[in-house]
């Protein structure tokens, strides 16, 4: 009989992780990295086909995954995503709040930004985090095991962001929200942290920048390249793992030195 491999220092074997926006970009990178660490992954996304494709790719590699179609800006969808995860896996250990980004095209200078754009951007980047964290915490109140929430922020929350004021303000707010959630959820054995990436090579980034522009931006990053989604996924896994068991309420910048070089 073949002996089982010893557990890794990450301690993520058989843990259940829910990843919002898990079908593309950073969320996709997180899904693959958690699966590599032995976690069971619930991929939550608005597009059912892409979520199913990510889940199938994990299962094809011998992992365990579930695709859930949900729009986390809708409270009933958030509740259903939690219920489906619990029903399928029988548990819930980790939440990755990855949904976010720009809401529509940037609206130019701060004085030109309309209130609707502000509201949509705050809803996408802050309200979804609160709603998903509430649902996750409530589902775990009676559990006697450790849990973790990892939010995906941005270096835009730490520097002036001309043309992206609503997005930068929302990501700065996420830093504060992370600290408060960490204090309030500590009695329930839930740690809360945030990863703040710099530029990441995703479809959404390539919608704004062509290859020449991407190459020029890469030259400005001390690490010499733009991050790949799996680079950020590894950092998210770290903060969710046993290696970060004594870390909560923190925001870890993962940008290859981009923020340092910018000012």
CA 59 to chain centre: 21
Domain 16-253 has CATH 3.40.50.720: yes
- The mean per-residue pLDDT over the stretch 25-50 comes to 97
pLDDT reported for residue 1? 33
- The mean per-residue pLDDT over the stretch 153-173 comes to 91
Half-sphere exposure (Cβ direction) of 118: Cα atoms closer than 13 Å:
9
pLDDT reported for residue 112? 73
Catalytic residues: 167
Question: What are the tokens at 91?
Answer: 């548990």
Lowest-pLDDT choice from 102-106, 117-121, 127-131, 242-246: 102-106
């Amino acid at each position: 009989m073949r002996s089982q491999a010893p557990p890794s220092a990450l301690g993520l074997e058989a843990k259940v992780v829910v990843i919002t926006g898990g079908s593309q970009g950073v969320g996709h990178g997180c899904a693959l990295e958690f699966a590599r660490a032995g976690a069971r992954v619930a991929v939550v996304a608005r597009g059912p086909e892409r979520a199913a494709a990510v889940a199938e790719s994990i299962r094809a590699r011998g992992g365990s995954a579930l695709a859930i179609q949900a729009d986390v800006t809708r409270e009933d969808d958030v509740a259903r995503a939690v219920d489906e995860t619990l029903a399928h896996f029988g548990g819930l250990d980790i939440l990755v709040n990855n949904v976010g980004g720009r809401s529509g095209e940037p609206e130019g200078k701060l004085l030109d930004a309309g209130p609707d754009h502000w509201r949509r951007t705050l809803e996408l980047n802050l309200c979804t985090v609160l709603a998903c964290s509430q649902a996750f915490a409530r589902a775990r109140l009676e559990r006697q095991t450790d849990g973790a929430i990892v939010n995906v922020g941005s270096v835009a929350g730490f520097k002036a962001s001309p043309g992206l004021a609503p997005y930068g303000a929302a990501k700065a707010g996420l830093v504060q929200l992370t600290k408060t959630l960490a204090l309030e959820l500590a009695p329930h054995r839930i740690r809360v942290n945030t990863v703040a990436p710099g530029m990441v090579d995703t479809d959404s980034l390539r919608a704004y920048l062509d290859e020449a522009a991407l190459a020029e931006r890469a030259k400005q990053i001390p690490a010499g390249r733009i991050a790949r989604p799996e680079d950020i996924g590894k950092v998210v896994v770290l903060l969710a793992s046993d290696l970060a068991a004594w870390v909560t309420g923190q925001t870890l910048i993962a940008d290859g030195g981009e923020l340092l070089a910018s000012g």
